[in-house]
Structure 1
Amino acid sequence: MPPDALKRYGIESAQSLITDVGLDVTLSEKHVYNLTSQQYLEIHSAGQQGAFVTVPPHATISVLTNERIRLGEKLGGLVASKVRMVSYGYSHISTTIDPGWDGQLVLTFTNTLPRGQNLTIGHKIATIVLFESVSAIPYKGEQPEVSAEKVNKIWTRYAQEATIASRLRRRRNIYLAFSALIILLSLAVQYLDIETIQAYEKTITIAGGVGSAIGGALAIISLYLYLKDSRRI
């Protein structure tokens, strides 16, 4: 698409990013989040080659574009994969940009290879194919605020919630394992050989009664905590 046509729609972009059908978008260093491990990727510096991140094998990352896209009410877009990114082993699901959109883009990519690989900051990661509509299409709903700070807050909160959910699941598993152990110990007492039972009949009776009572109480408590934690996840 000619630069003059883009400017007519209020789209400003570097000449090197303009294509015949729209424009390319590049990777920003302000937000590169590993959705798989729920942590931000470290930005490395490689001298003249520029900064880069190392995407782990089979990891899915959420990234922010450097470019802010401002579309008028007669212009919409489709975010398409770049062949070079696909040849590197990155999978990207296309998405759309509604007419009237104003903001940076948050995109996701998956490293499909069984090895980690570097991704350069500022690298062209996707292409926006622009479409012109016959009539104006007002943007529906409130215009979302997309910025590095807001996106980082969202994913930080998501990571915290995921960590809490993981802890609750581990605690729940401990409850169930402990309850099962108590039940097994109670059953084991019932299958002791007859001589042992006769020799320690009184002790076993008392221990069995106490153990059953404790086991029953712990089982009830564990079930209660299990159900309580399940509602919080």
Structure 2
Amino acid sequence: MLSDVDIEKQIESKKIHPDTGIAIEPFEKKYLTPVGYDLRVGQRGFSWNNKLEVEIERNGRIEIAPRDTVVIETLESISLSREVGATIHAMATRVTSQGLSHISTTVDPGWTGKLLISCHNYRDSPVELRFGDSLCTICFFRVESQAKGSVGRPPDRDDIWQQLREKANQEKQRQAQETQYEKDRERRERQTRLFWMASFAVVALAIGIFTSLINPVIGASLAAVIGGISPFVVEILKAK
């Protein structure tokens, strides 16, 4: 494992010999720890509950709702030589005092790009992370033999962001379809109620006219009864 002194030496080595060492951009010494470097909240995130991409830098923050899992892009871009690998760990303050999930992932030797960090909020209240806040700690290790395998993944994991955007679009389409279905259902129910109201009115009118032709007195009485119950029938049909 590389100490803070080792990390600074590796950074200087990378500047002189690009095939060696470590690069951290942007680098600020105050985020250097005795055994690593604190990575910060970057420009964008993604909420799994909302299936929505969040512009953290523009909003100044990202709010993690209760029981939500978010993916956060780091502010820093990391570049590792074939002689250095890394692991990413949760910060105690994020886990113990804020109720966020543990973080455990690896960074392959030869990696270049930003990193994607997944966090789950176990609390019953939202947790707010601001743009540039410390998020997690990356620890570096010098491998015994230079790695030969290819990382095989796009820098900054643009492939994952594309998948997240596709999921967000699918969710929006699903919600739009559900909204349209609900509108169509309400329209059909309204049309059905209007049909039965019109049918009741026609039948009542026909009965009244027919009865009046046979017996005007009975017809008048029947008309009064129908007139009295009509408002109740209409209200019943509206409520359905």
TM-score of the pair, normalised by structure 1:
0.62
Task: State, as a whole percentage, how many aligned pairs show the same letter.
Answer: 23
Aligned to 1:10: 22
* 1:158 Cα deviation after fit: 1.7
Taking a change above 3 Å as real, the CA distance of residues 74 and 43 of structure 1, as seen in their structure-2 partners, is closer
RMSD: 2.9
Question: Does structure 2 retain, via aligned residues, the 8 Å contact 1:100–1:138?
Answer: no
Give, in angstroms, the shift of residue 7 of structure 1: 2.9
Give the alignment partner of residue 92 of structure 1, picking from 97, 102, 119: 102
**Alpha-carbon distance change, 98 to 58 in structure 1, aligned in 2, over 3 angstroms:** same
Q: State the 1:43 CA deviation.
A: 4.7
Q: Tell me which structure has the larger Cα radius of gyration.
A: 2
| Unaligned residue ranges in structure 2 (runs of 5+) | 14-20, 183-240
Letter matched to residue 116 of structure 2: V
Partner Cα separation in structure 2 for residue 130 and residue 112 of structure 1: 29
The AA in structure 1 aligned to 2:40 is: T
Change (3 A) 1:17 1:44: closer
State the shift of 1:165 in Å: 6.2
Q: What is aligned with 1:65?
A: 74
Q: What code does the residue aligned with 1:5 have?
A: Q
Partner Cα distance (2:163, 2:145) in 1? 35
Q: What is the number of residues matched between the two proteins?
A: 166
Change (3 A) 1:55 1:44: farther
Displacement of 1:141 in angstroms is 4.7
Provide, for residues 157-181 of structure 1, a one-character-per-residue CA deviation record: whole Å limited to 9, x for no partner: 122234556788x7xxx9xxxxxxx
- Taking the aligned partners of 1:62 and 1:157, their CA distance within structure 2 comes to 15
Structure 1's unaligned 5+ residue stretches are: 175-233
What residue number does 2:205 align with? none
Give the Å deviation of 1:40: 2.8
1:77 aligns with 2:93: no
Kept in 1, the 8 Å contact 2:53–2:165? The answer is no
Q: Deviations over 1:24-59 (max 9, x none)?
A: 10001x21111111113465989xxxx222221111
Residue in structure 2 matched with residue 121 of structure 1 by the alignment: 131
The alignment status of 1:105 with 2:115, answered yes or no, reads yes
Cα pair distance change 1:18/1:114, threshold 3 Å: same
Closer, same or farther: CA 58–109 of 1 in aligned 2, 3 Å: same
CA distance in 2, matches of 1:43, 1:151: 18
1:19 aligns with 2:33: yes
Q: What amino acid is the match of 1:4?
A: K
Q: CA deviation at 1:75?
A: 0.5
